[in-house]
Structure 1
Amino acid sequence: MTIEFARTVSVPRPWGVVGGSFPFTTDDDGVAIGEIRYERPGQPVSEPSLLLKILLTSQPLSIQVHPDDAYAQSIGLPSGKTEAWYVVSAAAGAKVAIGLNQQMTPEHFRESVQDGSISTIVAWQPVSTGDVVSVPAGTIHAIGADLVIAEIQQRSDTTYRIFDHGRKRELHVESALAVANAGPMVVQARPLALTDERTLLVSNTHFVFERLRLASGTAWWLEAARETWLLVLGGLAHVGSSDVTTGDAIFAQSDRVNINVGPDGLIALLAYSGVGGPIPHALQRITQAGSPDLKFDETMPEPSSFTAATTGGGNQRKEIIR
């Protein structure tokens, strides 16, 4: 039984930001920070299977692709990397790329990497605050500049870069060819309202990703039977034994988490292990009598993935990976 206030780890990236903006500020001493990772405190016996992080971009990231579980395990890695993004903030004109705008042969793919035309063949699309993008393993993708994105992913750092905007880092063209779906992304469904408070953003075998909107002054039970992450985007609450505000995160597993919402309400992202799909009664309101008020439309379908298409950390302990 576990309920923990997550610590943050700042990771320098060439496309990151210096200083950041509230609530995602970093003690970086002038170093460009591109990721803020949420980790369990102390020395846990085992790592979580999911990784929650914030991406902060001042420049475009590389065009890249991640392997699936089968390929990763064939080369001795524990897992592949499927991920999903929630746009916390976006400047005017901000964009991401998902898939390609045409099907490509291996020969055409190699040529486009060599001459740089791959940067125009990826399918760029504008994004704005609140948009959600599902990125299954094998999807060629990129994130543009001037974005703050909350990302949930399988816990893997295996990335095959295809194009890196002249940064002269190593490219992994042959590995990318081995794992990539070198064509357009399949059209995905939109988010689905599960209750007045819960919106299903993405659901797959690896994780379920939801957005929560809880009214001010209300009390809830969050059933964290599986590995669970809660990231606060707005408002105040007392969660477990911690006071949380924008930018804070909670890790829980095999436990019931009490949430007492503050006067401004609470907006949060919820992510948990995807085996078994969305949990029908994961969030239960506590009535004045102290019993849960159950609400869920159990006739709703459970989609495999979704694309749609706010923002700190009071008492987090911060680290920087150099």
Structure 2
Amino acid sequence: MTRLTPIAVEKPWGRTSLPAPFDRMRGRRIGEIWFPGPEGQRLPLLIKYLFTSEKLSVQVHPSDAQAIALGLPAGKEECWYILDAKPGARLGIGVRTRLSKARLREAALSGEIETLMQWHLAEPGMLFHIPPGTIHAIGADISLIEIQQNIDVTYRLYDYGRPRELHLAEGVDVADPSPYPPSRQTSVDPSRSAILLHAEHFTLAHITGDDMSFIPRDACLYIAPIEGRIRIGGKAISAGECALAASNAEIDLRDCARALVAWS
């Protein structure tokens, strides 16, 4: 097992007070906690925690093909697992009716895009798949875990008047301004181990108890406990940590633990 070192990232929409076990990180407006690979090693996937006090920008990510055409190494596919959310907190994913590229640009410039988006209630235990091209925005008062391709490529379409750069040309070009299919959203049963998502670039599972028969025997696993303490090859990690482990490692969840596990 390799324990990944967290990196705190300040964001204008972040929080000055975080929930445990990150509550020691005070005095800065922390929006994200990243778990990158060991020094000098770039992993295919990146695990993040996000903590919002304000709405994030309306944004979109390119696909691999679109990114490579722009001279980038890869696009960005991701998913969100909701840890906590205030009642009424929402996620903007997709648009209510399909838009033309010209209409999307017009709506982004005017700010109307916020009212044209689909807004979904965010509740603990929900999982949302965000393929490349999906127009999306995370709302305020949400804590979540994000699993994504390990590349920092984001095109902002609208940012509520904040003084940050927008990327209208690039964003409109790669966006798929369509409604969000209900099949990309699910609720996770905390008592059951199961594969949650077979995405193009990664698979995500929820594990608890002792059923891990669906995990491949030749993969590098990204393990993020969300409750309790997990022992991997005799070493323990707890909620708020993240580790890499070989899929043949001994994984012990007897301490009433459960975790998200991803592999590419």
- Tell me if both proteins adopt one fold, taking TM over 0.5 as the criterion: yes
Change in CA separation of 1:222 and 1:123 when aligned onto 2, cut-off 3 Å: closer
Change beyond 3 A, Cα 1:262–1:99 = same
**Does residue 240 of the first structure (1) align with residue 238 of the second (2)?**
no
Alignment-derived partner of residue 3 in structure 2:
5
User: How big is the shift at 1:192?
Assistant: 9.6
Q: Which TM-score applies when normalising by structure 1? A: 0.76
Q: What SS does the corresponding residue of 1:21 show, helix, strand or coil?
A: coil
Residue of structure 2 equivalent to 1:105: 100
Q: Which residue of the other structure, out of 55, 58, 68, is the alignment partner of 1:60?
A: 55
- The gaps in structure 1 that reach 5 residues or longer are 274-322
Counterpart CA distance in 2 for 1:104 and 1:191 is: 25
Rate the CA distance shift 1:105–1:223 in 2: closer, same or farther, 3 A: closer
Q: Which residue matches 1:24?
A: 22
Higher deviation after alignment, 241-250 or 171-180: 241-250
C-alpha distance after superposition, 1:66-122 (max 9, x if no partner): 000001111111110000000011111111011101111222222211211111111
CA distance in 2: counterparts of 1:138 and 1:58, whole angstroms: 25
In the alignment, the residues of structure 1 paired with residue 244 and residue 217 of structure 2 have an alpha-carbon distance, to the nearest angstrom, of: 9
Match of 2:131 in 1: 136
Could you tell me which residue of structure 1 aligns to residue 71 of structure 2? 76
Moved over 4 A (4+): 189-193, 218-224
Q: Distance in 2 between matches of 1:78 and 1:98?
A: 25
Alpha-carbon distance in structure 2 between the residues aligned to 1:180 and 1:219: 37
Whole-angstrom CA distance in 2 between matches of 1:200 and 1:221: 8
Does the 8 Å contact 2:96/2:117 carry over to 1? yes
Contact 2:95 2:117 in 1 (8 A): yes
Q: Verify: 1:200 aligned to 2:195, yes or no.
A: yes
For residues 266-285 of structure 1, the aligned pairs below 5 Å read 266-273=257-264
Aligned equivalent of 1:257: 249
> C-alpha distance in 2, partners of 1:103/1:24?
40
* Structure 2, unpaired ranges of 5+: none
Q: State the SS of the aligned residue for 2:228.
A: strand
Given that 2:128 and 2:186 are in contact with CA atoms closer than 8 Å, whether structure 1 keeps it comes out as no
Separation in structure 2 between the aligned mates of residue 161 and residue 172 of structure 1, nearest angstrom: 5
1:219–1:259 contact (8 Å) kept in structure 2:
no
Q: Which has the larger radius of gyration?
A: 1
| CA deviation string 1:236-258 (max 9, x = no partner) | 232124212221211124x5221
CA distance in 1, matches of 2:200, 2:216: 19
Report the secondary structure of 2:115's partner residue.
helix
Q: Percent identity?
A: 33
- Alignment-mate amino acid for residue 76 of structure 2: K
- CA offsets, 1:39-91, max 9 Å, x none? 234x24x3110000100101110000000000111111111000000001111
* Partners of 1:13 and 1:79 in 2: CA distance: 24
| TM-score (norm: length of structure 2) | 0.92
Would the alpha carbon gap of residues 185 and 18 (structure 1) be closer, same or farther in structure 2, given more than 3 Å must change?
same
RMSD of the TM alignment (CA)? 2.4
